[in-house]
Amino acid sequence: MSYRVDLTVLSEQKQYCRFGVTLHNLSDQDLLDWKLQFIIDRYILPDSFTNGAIKQVGSFCCVTPDIDVLAANAHYYCEFSINTAPLRYHTDGFKDALIVEQNGAIKHSVVVTPIALASPYRERTELPVVEADRLALIPKPNQITTQNGRYLLSPNSQITLQSTRAEKAATWLQVELESIYQFKTNPIGHSEILFRNNPTLDEGEYNLTVSAQGVRIESGSASGFVHACATLLQLVEVTEQANTLQVPYVEISDTPRFRYRGMMLDCARHFHPVERVKRLINHLAHYKFNHFHWHLTDDEGWRIEIKAFPELTDIGAKRGVGTALEPQFSTLDDVHQGFYSQQEIRDVISYAEERGITVIPEIDIPGHCRAALKSLPELLQDQDDQSHYRSIQHYNDNVLSPALAGTYEFLDKVLKEVAELFPSPWVHIGADEVPDGVWVNSPKCQALMAEHGYHSAKELQGHLLRYAEKSLQKLGKRMVGWEEAQHGNKVSKDTIIYSWLSEEAALNCANQGFDVILQPAQFTYLDMTQDYSPDEPGVDWASTIPLETAYRYEPLIEVPDSDPLRKRILGIQCALWCEIVTHQQRMDYMIFPRLTALAEACWTNKPQREWFDYLSRLKGHLALLDRQNIKYRQPWTNQ
Ligand code: ACM
């Protein structure tokens, strides 16, 4: 080890903490004309910095020390403060560090020691001991009767379709039976898994009967057949014999509690290859989700091919060494890159459709647009704008201007391609977290405000979003956005609000007449940590979300069943933001098993939901996760 950096908490208050940084030169060479780079998610107060100066762009920090030479075997020390909540986890500390000499001509990697936290170590909270349930169905079906006996699926078992709507579900069932259980159905065997049309059943609803006559699945919708297959895949039990499975006798009549059941994946902060995206979509089908919200653009990366603007991916899909965007979140000395071609996107959409899942694209505007602004500076940057602002992720240059013709050209072309590519009737346009202070010192924005008699930046934002809404309507799409989409009071009630701040905010939007999807960060954000142990990966700005908290998420408790407001709540969505999600194993760890808990909030009626009952089913269900090689967070380490 030649270079090492230690980060230590020196003092800790609720909204003000001080840190010490020691860089050790353990090599036998002096460092000359050097700088220290590191990655940390928190905003460092520039005036609090000692022994040098710091420049921060997002999570990327570069320290110019007040000494030119760091002698061999000597160390450099500096301090800084933040005015946000204390750091609790090792993933809150430096993610990477690098020494650069002579303007980057020479680089030295630096070993980062885990942050020395102020708070005492807290043991992981253990879950209560439960017996594993043999009927380990998640989400729990809304009506289930069990009988004694088991039906044997053998090498002679055949799938029979009496409904064309069941074709895709039946194919999916075969694929999954083979990949999870190495079980193959026989195209010329007996008719033992029968798919039958039942037009009296609502969208998503299904009946599943297993008896001595075999497996009978009934639905009136393609999605209902998929949900039935998801249940069947959880019912089957392996036997000693090869290519033979058994299924307990049951009668299930099941229908979703909420018609919208979604998950959002952020592919901008870290790019997730197509295979990883599909893997997640497949898991979503197993838990009866029906929407995949694809967060495709953000400050740190533009991930969707737009033929009208190849720069968006040529430039905006790369960050790190030698690119237009600084390294962020994970590593300093490489290039993080990736985007989805339109062909790959079509492939993902049809993969999802085969599993009853609609893919909703998100193009996040007008904030969170740094990658686009850096890719198309001539079109999108307002050169006369002298406004000073800092976004929640510490950028001062990430917002589109509502007063530039280029912004509208950009929107027209991007939305047109997106609308053509995605069959989803909805397109998500973000609208979250436009920072205070934007546009105030832009002569063009001020002129636009005067022209329309606007009084606040929020109205300017509304102006732009109203344009996006109308454009999407012309393209045959309904606009959906985060709850800030209604700021400035310009978009119509046709826009659907994804509420992430709190249930109160959601109900407020519903009261105004918007349809709403519930995605409260305090329960549904899977990038939140799962416990207080410092080794838990994740963040905790909204809350820490242990499995029990995720399970106990019960929406609309305060809203009476008879309240018409309920009709405006279309469903529930969970989300994985990916600042810290760099690889498959981390993704699995953050998602599982909490996704199974949230699936139940989406699907299962309140009277059927009970924490201990869920735990028993989860315990019985873990074997199925293992079979799929899902690297879930072990719910029990004590049993
Ligand atoms: C969000 O978490 N900014 C929607």
Percent of the chain exceeding pLDDT 70 equals 99
Ligand 1: centre distance to CA 327 (Å):
21
Ligand 1: centre distance to CA 40 (Å):
19
Query: What does the pLDDT read at residue 127?
Result: 93
Query: What does the pLDDT read at residue 637?
Result: 85
Ligand 1: centre distance to CA 485 (Å):
12
For 333, list phi and psi in degrees, rounded to 5: -105, 40
Ligand 1: centre distance to CA 432 (Å):
6
Count of CA atoms in the C-beta half-sphere (13 A) of 244: 8
What sign does the dihedral 103-105-108-112 (CA atoms) show? positive
35: enclosing H helix or E strand: strand 34-39
Q: What angle do CA 495, 497, 500 make, to 5 degrees?
A: 165
Q: Which of 391, 500, 518, 579 to mutate to test the pocket of ligand 1 (most atoms within 8 A of CB)?
A: 500
Q: Which atom of ligand 1 is nearest to the CA of 521?
A: 2
Ligand 1: centre distance to CA 41 (Å):
16
For 318, list phi and psi in degrees, rounded to 5: -125, 145
Which pLDDT tens digit goes with each residue over 134-174? 899 999 999 999 999 999 999 888 999 999 999 999 999 99
Q: Which atom of ligand 1 is nearest to the CA of 482?
A: 4
Query: What does the pLDDT read at residue 187?
Result: 80
The reply to whether omega before 366 is within 30° of 0 (cis) is: yes
Q: Which atom of ligand 1 is nearest to the CA of 577?
A: 2
Give the global pTM.
0.98
Q: What angle do CA 153, 154, 159 make, to 5 degrees?
A: 65
Q: Which of 300, 433, 516 to mutate to test the pocket of ligand 1 (most atoms within 8 A of CB)?
A: 433
Ligand 1: centre distance to CA 570 (Å):
19
Q: Which atom of ligand 1 is nearest to the CA of 575?
A: 2
The reply to whether omega before 520 is within 30° of 0 (cis) is: no
**Alpha-carbon distance 186 to 170, whole Å?**
13
Ligand 1: centre distance to CA 279 (Å):
24
Sort residue 368 into left (φ over 0), alpha (ψ -120 to 50) or beta. Answer: left
**Alpha-carbon distance 183 to 181, whole Å?**
5
Three-state secondary-structure class, residue 376: coil
Ligand 1: centre distance to CA 230 (Å):
30
Q: Which atom of ligand 1 is nearest to the CA of 392?
A: 3
**Alpha-carbon distance 35 to 54, whole Å?**
10
Q: Which of 428, 429, 432 to mutate to test the pocket of ligand 1 (most atoms within 8 A of CB)?
A: 432
Ligand 1: centre distance to CA 456 (Å):
22
Atom 3, ligand 1: which residue's CA is nearest?
432
**Alpha-carbon distance 264 to 578, whole Å?**
10
Atom 2, ligand 1: which residue's CA is nearest?
500
Ligand 1: centre distance to CA 500 (Å):
6
For 42, list phi and psi in degrees, rounded to 5: -85, 155
- Give ligand 1 pocket residues (Cβ under 6 A): 432-433, 482, 500
Q: Which atom of ligand 1 is nearest to the CA of 498?
A: 4
Structure tokens given for 256:
């979703």
Nearest to 158 by CA among 168, 170, 150: 170
**Alpha-carbon distance 81 to 84, whole Å?**
9
Query: What does the pLDDT read at residue 124?
Result: 77
Pairing verdict, β 97-101 and 106-109: antiparallel
Structure tokens given for 24:
């050790």
Ligand 1: centre distance to CA 391 (Å):
12
Q: Which atom of ligand 1 is nearest to the CA of 430?
A: 4
Ligand 1: centre distance to CA 498 (Å):
9
Which pLDDT tens digit goes with each residue over 428-487? 999 999 999 999 999 999 999 999 999 999 999 999 999 999 999 999 999 999 999 999
Q: Which of 266, 480, 482, 497 to mutate to test the pocket of ligand 1 (most atoms within 8 A of CB)?
A: 482
The one-letter amino acid code at 230 reads: A
Ligand 1: centre distance to CA 578 (Å):
12
**Alpha-carbon distance 136 to 152, whole Å?**
18
Q: What angle do CA 86, 92, 93 make, to 5 degrees?
A: 105
Query: What does the pLDDT read at residue 639?
Result: 59
Low-confidence ranges of the chain (pLDDT < 50): none
Neighbours of 586 (CB within 10 A): 17
Structure tokens given for 446:
């001020």
Ligand 1: centre distance to CA 234 (Å):
33
